[in-house]
Amino acid sequence: MCGIVAAAAGNNIVPVLVEGLKKLEYRGYDSAGLAVIGDRKIDRVRSVGRVAELESASAATSSPTGIAHTRWATHGVPSERNAHPHISGSIAVVHNGIIENYESLRSELTAQGYVFTSDTDTETIAHLVESLLKTEPDLFRAVQLACRRLIGAYAIAVIDHQQAGRIIVSREGSPLLLGLSDTGNYAASDASALLQVTRNMVYLENGDIAELTATSVRIERLDGTPVERPVHVSQLSAAAVELGNYRHYMQKEIFEQPEALANTLEIVGGSKSIQPGIFGAEASNLLQDVDHILILACGTSAHSGMTARYWLEAVAGVPCTVEIASEYRYRTSVANPRQLIVAISQSGETADTLAALRHAKSLGQLKTLAICNVPESAIVRESALRFITRAGPEIGVASTKAFTTQLAALFLLTLVMAKVRNRLSADQESAYIDQLRHLPVAVNKVLMLEKDIEIWARRFADKHHALFLGRGRHYPIALEGALKLKEISYIHAEAYPAGELKHGPLALVDASMPVISVAPADDLLEKLKSNLQEVRARGGELYVFADADSEIPESEGVHMLRLPEHYGLLSPILHVIPLQLLSYHAALVKGTDVDKPRNLAKSVTVE
């Protein structure tokens, strides 16, 4: 959803900007650009497509001060003229977010004689700052005044060739952090872009504005009050964001799942029981009288919530609803101050999820829990309780390890809720914990099915449609399988609870429609087998992911892969892995851009 990098240093920063953009490319990749302070002018380079294009185009550019951007289009098609930075007079601006009042600002600025050369909301910021510079010549103050007039979400970085060596950055709603070092000072949308130069990071708060030079940093609030923000030493390893021996980040991240799960579950240690405190110091009190759980999330994170609903109701006996965040925030709902609001988000900055969380709080529902992969993110900071999944940075746009670690966290929540509600014996608790602990090994075994899955993927990569079926807690897994396939291979895929087949989708089944079925040996297996017969009877080709002990015979038109272990309640965590691999290999056969699928972005920080 657009990535920003800015650098003020003692030497040429163009390689730092380009390297930083490469790390942020997951945020948007339809065009990229940079602007540096040249010899009494702004030198700007922009290109449509990937950062690699920008790298070649900017090879001859050099300066100690500059800003850069990788774009995911919101206002205006991906094109060079819409690519950032946008220039007005002596200044250049990059922006991540959406300015909601840009139309009124644009009319006002047009009336003042400014000519717009792009369709973006960002160009409004450039002209607004330029117009304010006429009465307030100090760039810091002019940007401060401009920001006070902006409504919406933004992280911006501004340079002025008449005030060389200075970069002004500000944020409201969109992420931005500073990187401090002896050789220069930097800003970026996330820490991965700056690990190349420093580990010392300062997270800006909403409404902060900062000035960076090669040797100084100062921060104020938009009302002019000076503030200090603490320096965090990032623990992120540079290797964690490198591709290593893998072909794609998605492949790397699928194979990192055993480790990601082990890290996430480390909090349980060698203990036979878990305490509410793993969700925060307040958890014991706060969870005590919870009578309902409302999970809010988007995309893959919503699927983890949907899976958890089956656990929470069955094991903890607590009613649970899962709602797509973008729907909840605009719906008139019935508030319940005793309900626990669980916001699930890999990035912790998804605009819809954050807005839904804020909306829930505005209705007086203050029992909030964030399940998130990014500790300093807005969703974590704005929730009363938190659980940080330790998946490590997830770069591939299609979420994989974030999903399985969210599931592990949600199972821990299930156990804690069950304990708080006196529904879990010590034996059950310790048995579940043992199962959780064994997960990394169990996932490893499933990953060994890759070669077989690759063969399957080749068989249906030329198909235009696919159906995914699951039942019970595996229905959300079918949904996740379908989402993965459409996201990265562009094969139209739908998921249904298998019992719904006869109520509509069966009409679509013929020999050209592969039907992928999640079929673990659970209490719904017999019912599922009948559904599969319905598919076979219509000539549908079945691809079944069963357990070692699911009694489904392989026959003509019924292809079968068996997962090595039967995993009971936790089986969704294992059954999603082959579906991830299937979509990955289907995408490879089709030759799509696995890590950067068309039209999508990793963190959607706009509505």
Catalogue the active-site residues. 2, 602
Tell me the closest approach of the beta carbon of residue 207 to ligand G6P, in angstroms. 23
Residue least distant from ligand G6P (Cβ): 299
User: Does residue number 508 form part of the binding site for ligand G6P (CB under 6 A)?
Assistant: no
Instruction: Map tokens 């929730």 to a residue.
Output: 383
Q: What share of the chain is helix, strand, coil (3-state, %, to 5)?
A: 40, 25, 35
Separation CA 105–CA 258 (nearest Å)? 51
User: Does residue number 603 form part of the binding site for ligand G6P (CB under 6 A)?
Assistant: yes
Using the rule CB under 6 A, give the single segment among 51-59, 74-82, 434-442, 597-605 that binds ligand G6P: 597-605
Separation CA 116–CA 491 (nearest Å)? 39
Burial of 591 (C-beta count, 10 Å sphere; 0-12/13-18/19+): exposed
Q: How many residues bind ligand G6P (CB under 6 A)?
A: 16
C-beta of 300 vs 592, nearer to ligand G6P: 300
User: Does residue number 301 form part of the binding site for ligand G6P (CB under 6 A)?
Assistant: yes
Which has the closest alpha carbon to 84: 184, 19, 17, 13?
17
Instruction: Map tokens 């562009």 to a residue.
Output: 490
According to CB under 6 A, which residues from 385 to 404 bind ligand G6P?
397-399
Phi-psi label, residue 551: left if phi above 0, alpha if psi -120 to 50, beta otherwise: beta
User: Does residue number 146 form part of the binding site for ligand G6P (CB under 6 A)?
Assistant: no
Separation CA 401–CA 413 (nearest Å)? 18
User: Does residue number 298 form part of the binding site for ligand G6P (CB under 6 A)?
Assistant: yes
Tell me the closest approach of the beta carbon of residue 604 to ligand G6P, in angstroms. 5
Using the rule CB under 6 A, give the single segment among 34-42, 346-354, 462-470, 579-587 that binds ligand G6P: 346-354
Residue from 189, 198, 300, 365 binding ligand G6P (CB under 6 A): 300
Under a CB-based contact definition with an 8 Å cutoff, are residues 18 and 51 in contact?
yes
E strand intervals along 145-192: 152-160, 167-172, 177-180, 184-188
- Which positions from 248 to 287 touch ligand G6P by CB under 6 A, shown as an x/- string? ----------------------------------------
User: Does residue number 346 form part of the binding site for ligand G6P (CB under 6 A)?
Assistant: yes
C-beta of 375 vs 564, nearer to ligand G6P: 375
Helix axes 426-447, 401-420, angle to 10 degrees: 170
Residue from 150, 552, 604, 606 binding ligand G6P (CB under 6 A): 604
Q: Are strands 320-324 and 292-297 parallel, antiparallel or unpaired?
A: parallel
User: Does residue number 600 form part of the binding site for ligand G6P (CB under 6 A)?
Assistant: yes
Using the rule CB under 6 A, give the single segment among 264-272, 440-448, 581-589, 599-607 that binds ligand G6P: 599-607
Tell me the closest approach of the beta carbon of residue 550 to ligand G6P, in angstroms. 29
C-beta of 391 vs 443, nearer to ligand G6P: 391
Under a CB-based contact definition with an 8 Å cutoff, are residues 411 and 304 in contact?
no
C-beta of 142 vs 413, nearer to ligand G6P: 413
C-beta of 130 vs 253, nearer to ligand G6P: 253
C-beta of 261 vs 604, nearer to ligand G6P: 604
Residue 290 CA to chain centroid, in angstroms? 28
Residue from 47, 353, 365, 405 binding ligand G6P (CB under 6 A): 353
Tell me the closest approach of the beta carbon of residue 345 to ligand G6P, in angstroms. 3
Separation CA 533–CA 513 (nearest Å)? 15
CA 320, 325, 331, 332 torsion-angle sign = positive
User: Does residue number 345 form part of the binding site for ligand G6P (CB under 6 A)?
Assistant: yes
Separation CA 379–CA 372 (nearest Å)? 8
What residue spans of 324-365 are helical by DSSP H? Answer: 325-328, 351-362
User: Does residue number 299 form part of the binding site for ligand G6P (CB under 6 A)?
Assistant: yes
CA 179, 184, 187, 192 torsion-angle sign = negative
3-state secondary structure of 358: helix
Tell me the closest approach of the beta carbon of residue 487 to ligand G6P, in angstroms. 7
C-beta of 546 vs 604, nearer to ligand G6P: 604
Bridge partners (DSSP) of residue 201 are 179, 232
Residue from 69, 484, 562, 602 binding ligand G6P (CB under 6 A): 602
Which has the closest alpha carbon to 470: 503, 532, 517?
517
Bridge partners (DSSP) of residue 167 are 212
User: Does residue number 69 form part of the binding site for ligand G6P (CB under 6 A)?
Assistant: no
Tell me the closest approach of the beta carbon of residue 406 to ligand G6P, in angstroms. 8
User: Does residue number 88 form part of the binding site for ligand G6P (CB under 6 A)?
Assistant: no
Structure tokens at 296: 């809010």
C-beta of 24 vs 274, nearer to ligand G6P: 24
Separation CA 341–CA 363 (nearest Å)? 11
C-beta of 250 vs 544, nearer to ligand G6P: 250
Query: Residues in the site for ligand G6P, rule: CB under 6 A?
Result: 298-301, 345-347, 350, 353, 397-399, 600, 602-604
